Amino acid sequence: MDEEKVMLQIQNVLVSLDLAEQFFCCDLDACLGQCCIEGDAGAPVTPEEVKRIEEVLPQIKNDMIPAGLREVEENGVAYTDEEGDLVTTIVDGRNCAFTCYGPGGKCLCAIEKACREGRIDFLKPASCHLYPLRLTEYPDFIAVNYHRWKICRPAETLGRKLGLRLYKFLEGPLTARFGKEWYDELCEACEAYLKEYPDGVR
């Protein structure tokens, strides 16, 4: 098998070795949350998540930027992109409609802000919670891959400085998506791999 395609299998999930090899820790002070305002489509969402966003909209609309709120009120909280995926509504062809801004120009998520302040009980779409991972669902398995993007280089630098691997950084989101038993198996597999290949070189 091609080394570039080698993956870890955890139950019915195929996981990229990037989760074990890559150091990662979001550095909002350096990137300013650009992942919410760069790109040509919104964040992937499920129909259930669309319903939840619609339900909490009254609690978050005052935190959203005016253009984002206007776009959502006129066209809804999500749309189907060119690839046929359901994604969050965007503004000006790139900005997520649910962004808001904090001190120093940091881009934040209005949904997450409201949740952390105790106003709603929905944190944010799973695809945002799991980023920089991307999940692709097939009939018999799910593939988990690391989405490499230049704006996340500060996160890679900080992760290396802290010695924090990607699978450890995303413990919470991965556990929420796949369960604790699955995550514990992932940890065992990653640790065994790193013991054999400490430098991440196969």
Per-residue pLDDT reduced to its tens digit, 54-109:
999 999 999 999 999 999 999 999 999 888 889 999 998 778 999 988 888 888 89
Q: Is residue 186 within 8 Å of 19, Cβ to Cβ?
A: yes
N residues, the chain: 202
pLDDT of residue 200: 57
Which stretches within 146-202 are classed as H helix? 153-162, 166-169, 171-178, 180-196
Q: Is residue 167 within 8 Å of 187, Cβ to Cβ?
A: yes
Per-residue pLDDT reduced to its tens digit, 141-162:
999 999 988 889 999 999 999 9
Which of 56, 47, 26 has its CA nearest to residue 118? 56
pLDDT of residue 77: 96
Q: How confident is the model at residue 189 (pLDDT cuts 50, 70, 90)?
A: very high
What CA–CA distances, in Å, run from 75 to 21, 39, 119, 137? 41, 19, 25, 27
Exposure string for 30-59, b = 16+ CB within 10 A, e = fewer: ebbbbbbbebebbbbbeeebbebbeebbeb
Place of tokens 């969402």: 45
**34, pLDDT greater than 90:** no
Region of residue 104 (phi > 0: left; psi between -120 and 50: alpha; otherwise: beta) = left
Determine which helix (DSSP H) or strand (DSSP E) holds 34, and give its type and residue range: none
- Spatial separation of the C-alpha atoms in residues 94 and 84, rounded to whole Å: 17
Fill in the DSSP letter of residue 35: G
State pTM to two decimals. 0.85
Among 34-43, 99-108, 185-194, the range scoring the smallest mean pLDDT is 34-43
pLDDT of residue 88: 95
**4, pLDDT greater than 60:** no
